[in-house]
Structure 1
């Protein structure tokens, strides 16, 4: 293993809102590779929460299906529910064999990155004898297939977070189960981050041949998130002194139980960021744009950590302090909103009448969801199939065509602006409708190379191989004649990064401008 030498400067900020300090250390990277400044992509308006679901019992794992709905695992009941804004949660399945003792139960959940082909959903849970990972097909959820068993279980430190990386592999944070020596034992799978194929077998390129262990020296990893360059960040509970955010590298040793927090010991990798347990107890993590969001349990807040684009972090900001109690999970949704779950019914919080809840927060530039789109007729106008008499002709659909009419061939144009670095890029996509007004839009294209989208905003974006589908968000579906809609995404690539040329809007070819 190539050890990291720390050459970054230490950034410290006293947070006036908390009276406590969070200390950030810049990652070790060549100065020429460091991004200039901290980018502001991924900012959300935390003053405009939308309640997506109420009355849940310790919602723990959460991931999204291609249609934008969320699957949510409830720790204590073992039930998976399907959640959509504006609708009641729908039960999907109750996982068999769950033993919800203390911190155990139904924990992580991950949707297969090839769900459109295989229909698989993955769950991490505690049984009477072990922690394990199983998968089931959403079309037949009663048939649950274990892919990894025998992880040591306990009443504490079960780990449980699972997520698919940009490489298509399944990663799992496994706690030390209260047996601290396990974290430094390479033969034990506890106190580790594991990396496996979707069927649970060992990838050939893991750090140790034949071993699922990807990194070691962990106490209780609770959050896993990748940036646009494919770097893995993990959140971890400390013991009494320091909680951590770590930049994870293959084969890295993160020091527990020899080290808690920073040690400047060449045997171990120091964290990027540490907090006291009172201000954090960090659980789920998500990256949106150039922000790492960390849900804090004991800290009763959401940490907003700037990422500098080169593996380092800036000074974190505390959001939602005390507003919703204990926060367990945070995910960046395909709708471009940030989704957050509470954890006030886990035996350590003070639940409100509607807890536990799932909330989502809009991007800073999103219009209010209660207001109609600017191209829609006012509420006092006739039905949407006819334009209001006071509306300009260009914003209303022609009376001879329904709102959902697809543009004719060549009746759309696409602008594709890229900000690119060595192995990643962001793209700003602007679509202009040259045909009849539509009330819902879908843009499709094929990547010429190996580009892989990691997250997006202002659209619901799905990718299968080289094929990409971007659908409108809930608030920007109306696209009038000559109207333009924009959205963006982050992606990784290697080699060249050619621009797609086969854009289609609602099935009709578009001109690339």
Structure 2
């Protein structure tokens, strides 16, 4: 049984970086990035490769932005999940330590105190490759100091969703309960993001656990997006009333988010060709392993934006009033996909839906693992350079990764 390693107090390090957006660079053929309108009449084959599907009313100047990033906290050991708490604080999971910490806007990092709940989470978690303590969500109805939190962990035999009570005054965790288990696990493709939707239900992103057949198997929880109640039961209104499956045909989903109209988005890792941003429809089949990227095949839902895997490998996402932001690992940048109208406006033919993807912070902070919208319009981004695949940054011979960044996006002049 392990204990949570203490994380020393981190002072905010003001590092301002002006990041001009980077133009989308195509790679030729089917591996070029692109974006299409999700209107009923649009298809991947109708969209120009590497660009935006033409539509009346499109604003060609949309998306011209700059970004400034400030380091809020650093020396976080393999951070993975992030959830907002009152007071501009965040609850962050550490994948390999199976630990949690509260990060303050001042840069202070406070690990949860040794407690029965913290020990139980650590005992249940068996880090393995990409697996470990992954996603975290906080009940949006809670105001504190007690919060119900949900965790996604990789165990010895499966991935599971846990529920626990967080005492923010005492910085302890208690009453850990497994609410959903039996999610396939492996050294990779574990999914792991969890989030409350605007309907009050919990959505769970899973991976195919290295077995592509899981994604199309309706009886497997792998390669799916699940929708459950806070007690872990299939949520009312699911496509199959007895199943938690909300959508299927996914390879490895690690980002979930909703816009103001309730439209649901998910990011997905491709295998060797194309990564995806999808609009999620209940009961939708997103094609894996038969299709990677846009395929324009009957029965499968095409992505609304896609990238070569070398330019993205998207993990967490955040949806704001103006855009979807995707944290890219291998691509080492923050992708921005402008939102040009609501789902209703797109369906009515009044809007093209999405603008051309643009890259921010390209190469400035290495691998980016997660992004969370802040209360004042800023974005908070977790880097992912200490996960064994990155090159951790150093200062004066000391490793300073991983970091929590505060990113301000503004229209370009």
Query: Aligned partners of 2:403 and 2:86: how far apart in 1?
Result: 22
Query: Aligned partners of 1:119 and 1:284: how far apart in 2?
Result: 23
2:369 equivalent to 1:328:
yes
2:150 equivalent to 1:122:
yes
> Secondary structure of 2:340's match?
coil
Q: CA deviation at 1:127?
A: 0.9
- Mapping of residues 24-35 of structure 1, within 5 Å: 24-28=35-39
| Counterpart among 250, 273, 285 of residue 282 in structure 2 | 250
2:215 equivalent to 1:183:
yes
1:348 alignment counterpart: 389
1:74 alignment counterpart: 94
Query: Aligned partners of 1:37 and 1:259: how far apart in 2?
Result: 29
2:129 equivalent to 1:108:
no
Question: Structure 1: which 5+ residue stretches go unaligned?
Answer: 1-14, 366-513
Cα deviation digits, residues 350-408 of structure 1 (max 9, x gap): 0012100000023539xxxxxxxxxxxxxxxxxxxxxxxxxxxxxxxxxxxxxxxxxxx
Q: Which contiguous aligned blocks of 4+ residues in structure 1 show a shift greater than 3 angstroms? A: 15-21, 34-45
Cα deviation digits, residues 188-237 of structure 1 (max 9, x gap): 11100000011111122101111000000000001001011001010000
Is the contact between residue 35 and residue 310 of structure 1 (CA under 8 Å) also seen in structure 2?
no
Is the contact between residue 35 and residue 308 of structure 1 (CA under 8 Å) also seen in structure 2?
no
Which piece of structure 1 moves more, 201-210 or 243-252?
A: 201-210
Query: Aligned partners of 1:309 and 1:79: how far apart in 2?
Result: 40
Query: Aligned partners of 1:306 and 1:360: how far apart in 2?
Result: 20
Cα deviation digits, residues 152-206 of structure 1 (max 9, x gap): 1100100000000000010011000011111111111110000001111112210
* Change beyond 3 A, Cα 1:172–1:157: same
Query: Aligned partners of 2:56 and 2:125: how far apart in 1?
Result: 46
* Change beyond 3 A, Cα 1:288–1:44: farther
2:401 equivalent to 1:361:
no
Q: CA deviation at 1:116?
A: 2.4
Query: Aligned partners of 1:256 and 1:156: how far apart in 2?
Result: 16
2:196 equivalent to 1:164:
yes
* CA radius of gyration, larger in: 1
| Counterpart among 213, 222, 234 of residue 202 in structure 1 | 234
* Change beyond 3 A, Cα 1:40–1:136: farther
* Change beyond 3 A, Cα 1:180–1:80: same
Cα deviation digits, residues 474-493 of structure 1 (max 9, x gap): xxxxxxxxxxxxxxxxxxxx
| Counterpart among 59, 73, 91 of residue 111 in structure 2 | 91
2:33 alignment counterpart: 22
Q: CA deviation at 1:310?
A: 2.9
* Change beyond 3 A, Cα 1:87–1:264: closer
* Change beyond 3 A, Cα 1:17–1:214: closer
1:230 alignment counterpart: 262
Q: CA deviation at 1:109?
A: 0.6
Query: Whose relative contact order is higher, 1 or 2, with alpha carbons under 8 Å and at least 6 apart?
Result: 2
Q: CA deviation at 1:273?
A: 1.0
- Mapping of residues 437-476 of structure 1, within 5 Å: none
Is the contact between residue 195 and residue 203 of structure 2 (CA under 8 Å) also seen in structure 1?
yes
Question: Structure 2: which 5+ residue stretches go unaligned?
Answer: 1-21, 43-54, 344-352, 395-399
- RMSD of aligned Cα (Å): 2.3
Query: Aligned partners of 1:144 and 1:133: how far apart in 2?
Result: 10
Is the contact between residue 367 and residue 385 of structure 2 (CA under 8 Å) also seen in structure 1?
yes
2:10 alignment counterpart: none
1:144 alignment counterpart: 176
> Secondary structure of 1:116's match?
coil
